[in-house]
Amino acid sequence: MRLRLALVAGPMYDHLYSFFDELGVDVEVVVHADHPTLNREVATRLAAGERLDLVSTHGKYAPAQARWLLPLDDLVDPARLAELAPRAVELCRVRERLLCVPRLIDVRVLWTRTDRVADVPDTWAELLAGETVFGFPGRESGLFGTFFELVVGAGGRLFDEAGRACIDSPEAVDAVEVLRRLAQRAGPELPTWHYDDVDAALLDGRVDAAAAWPGAWGAIRRSAVADRLAPHPYLAGAARRVSYSGCHAWAIPATTADRDGAVDLLHALVGREAQALDAAGGNVCAHLDAFAGVRPVDDVDRRRLEITRRTIEESMITYPSAERFPEIEDAGWSSLREALQGELPAHEAVARVQRVAQRVLAGTTAREGDPA
């Protein structure tokens, strides 16, 4: 039976999909889009009861999709799970149920143009005090994640021990002000940038430095300016160095018409061969042996891998495992972007995000950019 798939798209992910042909699996890709678009499409199709057999998801998004996903604890071979990074597997559990199986671990590395940046900043404060033009996502979860990093790196937090929103804080106001000043330095296009747009701005010289996910390495290595790009640890805050991180994953919807076929394909996609193919593109695959077997192509790659491994060990921060957290991101980022564009003071942007979070956590539906 032909398997119907929904896949995340982009240069970080697409190099894996030739693996379907190598397996000889008959697949129909019904969704192939960036993650926000993918999530909306998958939600619409699954809510309507449409058949999907395997979908790209993320540990952050799986709680919101839980009603449509099959628990995998009794379906996935425990020996396959044992081959994967334990922390990545745990990020795929929701209320102790395994709802997805990890594909990739994402953390950010700072890349700078060596011909433009003489003194590489180690902290956000050093970056702001200098003249380096820094690129970052200006919309959606990439913007919210950068805000999250700045708040936590400064010693703040977005939620307390009871899971209540405590976003409206001096650290959060300062974070928005930092983002606003850096966005002004980068130019008026930044608020439209997604992840891939940031990578492109780094490679074509519109910015001097940017934080890139591991999968950007392929494009960096092939770039005409590859010999002028160098990796460094991601920027540290006043309290700590953090990278807002997560875990891309595979899930099987309850609407599948071929459960056995979907499980077999999932097993293949988290196996060593497929995971090594993902790692060859620069990604941090969840398969421990496959990632351990990655051999650097040169000294720059060796440094990139060292920094990436150290960041995973020491600096990862992750989203709360909450069903409605993606709603807070979706509704909150537009207020942050208004501040980047000078349309909203930093303190009001933070207050709006706090109100949105409180509404969402109270069970009220939030709307993107909702000021109430």
Kindly list the averaged pLDDT for each block of 10 residues, start to end, along the chain of length 372: 94 90 94 93 97 96 93 96 94 92 94 96 97 96 94 95 92 98 96 92 96 89 94 97 93 98 97 94 92 92 94 88 82 93 96 93 55 36
Sign of the dihedral defined by the CA atoms of residues 303, 307, 309, 310, in that order: positive
**Angle between the 346-361 and 170-186 helix axes, to the nearest 10 degrees?**
120
Query: pTM of the predicted model, to two decimals?
Result: 0.86
CATH code for position 348: 3.40.190.10
CA dihedral 121, 127, 130, 134 (to 10 degrees): 110
Output 118-127 pairs: Cβ under 8 A, ≥24 positions apart.
Answer: 120/209, 120/230, 120/232, 121/209, 121/235, 122/232, 122/233, 122/235, 122/236, 123/235, 123/236, 123/237, 123/238, 124/150, 124/153, 124/178, 124/235, 124/236, 124/237, 125/238, 127/182, 127/209, 127/235
Please check whether residues 240 and 128 belong to one and the same domain. Answer: yes
pLDDT at residue number 218: 87
Whether 91 and 247 have beta carbons less than 8 Å apart is answered as: yes
Two structure tokens written together for 71:
């628990």
Please check whether residues 116 and 94 belong to one and the same domain. Answer: no
On whether residue 368 sits in a domain, the answer given is no
The residue type of 251 is: A
Contacts of 295 (CB under 8 A, 6+ apart): none
Whether 256 and 53 have beta carbons less than 8 Å apart is answered as: yes
Distance CA 98, CA 325 (A): 18
Report the domain count for the chain: 2
Please check whether residues 17 and 164 belong to one and the same domain. Answer: no
Half-sphere exposure of residue 265: CA atoms within 13 angstroms, side-chain side:
27
SS3 318: coil
Sheet of 109-113, strand order: 134-135, 209-212, 109-113, 229-232
Q: Which domain holds residue 264?
A: 3-106+246-292
Return the DSSP state at 237: -
Distance CA 228, CA 158 (A): 37
Distance CA 182, CA 209 (A): 11
Contacts of 93 (CB under 8 A, 6+ apart): 99, 321
Two structure tokens written together for 29:
């890709």
Two structure tokens written together for 126:
């050093």
Please check whether residues 52 and 30 belong to one and the same domain. Answer: yes
On whether residue 274 sits in a domain, the answer given is yes
On whether residue 133 sits in a domain, the answer given is yes
On whether residue 299 sits in a domain, the answer given is no
pLDDT at residue number 83: 97
pLDDT at residue number 208: 98
On whether residue 307 sits in a domain, the answer given is no
Please check whether residues 184 and 206 belong to one and the same domain. Answer: yes
Instruction: Tell me the backbone φ, ψ of residue 296, rounded to 5 degrees.
Output: -65, 145
